[in-house]
Amino acid sequence: MSIELRGSGDLRRISRELRRMDDQELKKRFRKELRAAAAPLVPRVRQSIRSIPSGRGYTPEGLRGALSKAVKLEVKTAGRQAGIAIRVDGRKMPSHMKSLPSMVEGKKRWRHPVFGHREVWVSQTNQPYFYRVVRAAGPASRRAVSRVLDGITRDIS
């Protein structure tokens, strides 16, 4: 699962121009500045995950900790998928919990036994914990990314 903030085609256009110029230092600075612009969102998403209530069928502390550790920031500046993504990566979860990030967010149905009793199952209530945080911080993040794009555009020109 990922949350992406994209600046229309500007990011792809600048990435394409940087590849054409083949200036490794400028490419490196571009990726570093994009990462720095989006980095404040990662602790917010982690805190949101840690604040998921426990009890009455909600997640135990071990799941909150594992979900929090699975949060990562991805910056891609090549190809059609150029963008910035904050991902709660299921591949970083323990082997029996790899699909839980999408279940907690409400993308999949989440059923589980009540306190380990295999005869009694309940459906988990899903809440948009991850998206809520990023939507609130979205405008400030978009402005930060726009400043980075404007600075690199000036350097390219």
Span 98-127, average pLDDT: 75
Q: pTM for the full model?
A: 0.69
How are beta strands 83-88 and 111-114 bridged, if at all? unpaired
Range in 23-27, 33-37, 57-61, 100-104 with the lowest mean pLDDT: 57-61
Check if the beta carbon of residue 46 is closer than 8 Å to that of residue 87.
no
Distance CA 6, CA 14 (A): 13
Instruction: Express each pLDDT in 131-144 by its tens digit.
Output: 777 777 777 777 78
CA atoms within 13 A on the CB side of 149: 22
